[in-house]
Amino acid sequence: MKPWRNLLLFGIAFSAAALAQQPRLVDPLRGQTPLAEEPRPPVLYNTENKDLRRERAYTMQPPTIPHKIDGYQLDKRANRCLFCHNRDRIGETQAIPLSITHYMDRDGNVRAAISPRRYFCTTCHVVQTEARPLVDNDFLDVDTVLKRTGGARTPAERIPAQ
């Protein structure tokens, strides 16, 4: 058994050395900056604050936040979003109310107050900036895809032929 074990150890050592020879992966956040130096931080973009709703890229997309939320407290003690967006506040604030799904628990029962699993708004809803995307994005809207493939089928067409 011993020669085999030695051979295995040698093999591990060799592959480790071979891995070390390969070109280093570049950290996309650091770029080419050497480890010992501080990278120059990218410019901060201003948050969009136009109060104009953006369209949604797909049906289930959580709507984006069209205003600044700087300094908004969102923890177990206070939810600054709900101060305007809660059901009882929208009359005065004219903010967009939460959808009914936010009052449902995971069994689908509608509750009086926001469901705890929906409490932390910024998990899904985020502010927007006019920033250049860090990576290319070839996402296509479903309508664009349908247009390419010759349009959506009518419900009648969708019924499989007998």
CB of 89 to other proteins, least distance (A): 7
One character per residue 28-57, x = contact with other proteins (rule: CB under 8 A): ---------------------xxx------
- Position 86 contacts other proteins (CB under 8 A): yes
Among 91, 108, 150, 155, binds other proteins (CB under 8 A): 91
CB of 49 to other proteins, least distance (A): 5
Q: Is 42 helix (H, G, I), strand (E, B) or coil?
A: coil
Backbone dihedral angles phi then psi of residue 59, each to the nearest 5 degrees: -55, -45
- Asked if 65 and 127 touch (Cβ cutoff 8 Å), the reply is yes
- Asked if 39 and 30 touch (Cβ cutoff 8 Å), the reply is yes
- Position 64 contacts other proteins (CB under 8 A): no
Q: Residues near 89 by Cβ (< 8 Å), separated by ≥ 6? A: 82, 83, 95
What does the alpha-carbon distance between residue 70 and residue 21 come to, in Å, rounded to a whole number? 46
Structure tokens at 135: 């990576």
Q: Which is nearer to other proteins, 52 or 161 (CB)?
A: 52
Per rule CB under 8 A, count of chain residues that contact other proteins = 23
- Asked if 67 and 121 touch (Cβ cutoff 8 Å), the reply is no
Q: Which is nearer to other proteins, 75 or 136 (CB)?
A: 75
Q: Which is nearer to other proteins, 38 or 75 (CB)?
A: 75
CB of 77 to other proteins, least distance (A): 5
- Position 122 contacts other proteins (CB under 8 A): no
Binders of other proteins among residues 95 to 114 (CB under 8 A) are 95
Handedness of CA 7, 8, 11, 12 (dihedral sign): negative
